A and B are shown apart, each in its own frame.
Chain A
Amino acid sequence: MSEVALENKKNTVRKKKKWKLSQLIGFVILLVVTITMLSPVWFMVTTSLKTTKELLLFPPTIIPKVFAWGNFSELFTNTDIKFGQQYMNSLIVAICTVIGTIISSSLVAFGFARYQTRSSGFMFMLVLSTLMLPYPAIMIPQFLLFMNLGLHDSLLPLILPSFFGSAYMIFLLKQFFSTMPDELYNAGRIDGCSEFRLYWNLTLPLAGPALATVAIFSFIWSWNDLLTPVLYLDSQENFTLPIGMAAMLSSKFRLAPWNLLMAASILSVMPIVLLFAVAQKRFVEGIVLTGIK
Chain B
Amino acid sequence: MTVPASPTRRKRSSLLCFRQQVPHSASLLAALLGAAVFLGGWQLLVELRVVAPVFLPPPLKVAQTFIHMSVDGSMLPNTLVSIRRVWLAFLISALLAVPLGILMSGYRIIGATFEPMIDFIRYLPVPALVPLAIIWFGVGETTKIFLLWLGTFFQLVLMVAADMKRIPNEYFETAYTLGARPRQTLLPVALPAMLPQLMDSMRISLGWCWTYVIIAEIVASDSGLGFVIWTARRFMKTDQVMAGVIMIGLIGLVTDQCLRLLHRKLFRYQ
Are A and B bound to each other?
no
Name A's B-contacting residues (CB within 8 A). none
